[in-house]
Amino acid sequence: MKKLFPLLFLLLSLTISAQTTAEKIHYKTITQTECVKKKGYRLVLKQVVSDSRCPEGVTCVWAGEVSFVVSVYKDKKFVEDVTFSSANREQNLELFSKYLGKKVTSVGVLPYPKQGVSVDPKSYVLKIGYTR
């Protein structure tokens, strides 16, 4: 028993130290009128093409997906429109990382649909999580 206690203490301290070294995630919101930065690349949410996500308060067989178009500008010049789909998570993270110059960890579309409530298309925003 005396030998077991130091072993458990060692395992616990390793677990705690591993959790404190995790990178902090920061968030940036992209609306349909705002952009990420003025110099270099900037991103503007052009439109949400489709939103078939399962509304809150409803039990669905399929979770659904959302697709959206982001306009990419570099130094105030239009570069391209990129269509994203929640079904292509890895591709989304890679492209946003490229344009933002940061490691993007998550991309979400807000607001999330609710049962019986229609969403105004102009109220959609992108919430991008990244590490520095």
Task: Please give the pLDDT value at position 23.
Answer: 77
pLDDT by residue for the chain (132 residues), tens only, comes to: 555 444 444 444 545 544 445 679 999 988 887 665 567 888 999 999 999 999 988 888 888 899 999 999 888 888 999 999 988 999 999 999 998 889 999 999 999 999 888 889 999 999 999 997
Q: Please report the sign of the dihedral spanned by the C-alpha atoms of residue 91, residue 35, residue 41, residue 129.
A: negative
What is the value of pTM for the model shown? Answer: 0.75
Task: Please give the pLDDT value at position 36.
Answer: 55
| Long-range contacts of the stretch 30-36 (C-beta < 8 A, 24+) | 30/70, 30/125, 30/126, 30/128, 31/125, 31/126, 32/122, 32/124, 32/125, 35/73, 36/99, 36/100
| Cα dist from 88 to 54, 66, 85, whole Å | 18, 10, 6
